[in-house]
Structure 1
Amino acid sequence: MNAFKNYISSFFSGLSSLLKGMRVTIRVFFRKKTTEQYPENRDTLQIFDRFRGELVMPHNANNEHKCVACGICQMNCPNGSIKVISETVTDEEGKKKRVLTKYVYDIGSCLYCQLCVRTCPHGAIEFDNKFEHAVFTRDKLVRQLNHEGSTLEKK
């Protein structure tokens, strides 16, 4: 008789568990679908503003940027995907200062941690929403962020 009670109680326990699982499944089945049909919906695709897709260096209409080549972003990058190449020049007053020659960014090794953007004291770099980076060779993922002939923005 005791074995029969155990059988009945375990049967109803299993049935209860099954019904709970089915309730969750049916609730999810009738929910609005969130799958994006990419790439067919490229024109209507909405990407959130906080999405980190690619590091960019904004330039104004005069081809000027805000980077002073301090190298803080390069130091804070955990895997070395940023290389700031600069040279020291002497201005009219005889002061030596750094000038950005090349700002190289490797998208293929970037962790998108945003440490570079957060620690930049001048706000010279930011993340863009561009996310399509499929290429056949990794060399195409290395980009120079400063434009040719660009200079430091005058304050």
Structure 2
Amino acid sequence: MEQQGYFAGLMGGIKSLCTGLKVTMREFWTPKITERYPENRKTNKMFERFRGQLILPHNELNEHKCVGCGICQMVCPNDTIVIKSEMREGEDGKKRKVLVEHVYDHGRCMYCMLCVTSCPHGALAFDNEFEYAVFDRTKLVKQLNHPGSKVQPKK
């Protein structure tokens, strides 16, 4: 009886070993997908859905789509976005809210994309850059609107 249990355990161990070797040999022959970073910085492409850093895209005329409504600031759970806007008189004589400063703290962002999806004008997006390592955390706070930029006129 004791011998039978011994051999059953031995056969179970051999079966388990063969299963592990089968998985190992299958993975040994699959093509390698490891990227050689940082050697491939210039050719490295990130995935389409990768979320790098929040950006406020500007066109060639230094215009953006942000009207300074503050919805992105309100929905951000970490208070990553701070918008400063003021009321100014436009060319038509009406007072309108104008974006003064759009500040983004990359160090506090959790990449939930609530700001991008909630923006009614489609002014925000995430880029595909991924190298943002810094020694000083204050360098992670960035102003998204360029100096002298203005809102794109409606078409």
Alignment of 1:117-136 (within 5 A): 117-136=116-135
- Residue in 1 that maps onto 2:63: 64
Q: Which of 121-130 and 42-51 deviates more?
A: 42-51
Matched position secondary structure for 2:98:
strand
Q: What per-residue deviation string (whole Å, max 9, x for no partner) do you get for residues 91-121 of structure 1?
A: 3555332110000001111111111111111
Letter in 2 for 1:152: V
Give 2:115's aligned amino acid.
Answer: C
Q: Alignment identity in percent? A: 55
* 1:88 aligned counterpart, secondary structure: strand
Does residue 105 of structure 1 match 2:104?
yes
Which aligned segments of 4 or more residues in structure 1 are displaced greater than 6 angstroms?
none
- Note if 1:89 corresponds to 2:117: no
Task: Count residues with an aligned counterpart.
Answer: 154
Structure 1 regions of 5+ residues with no counterpart? none
TM-score, normalised by the number of residues in structure 2 = 0.94
SS in 2 for 1:113: coil
TM-score (norm 1): 0.94
How far apart, CA to CA, are the structure 2 residues paired with 1:74 and 1:51? 22
CA RMSD of superposed structures (Å): 1.2
SS of the residue corresponding to residue 62 of structure 1 reads: coil
| Structure 2 runs not aligned, ≥5 long | none
SS of the residue aligned with 2:122? coil
Alpha-carbon separation, structure 2, partners of 1:109 and 1:92: 38
Distance in 1 of aligned mates of 2:94 and 2:43: 52
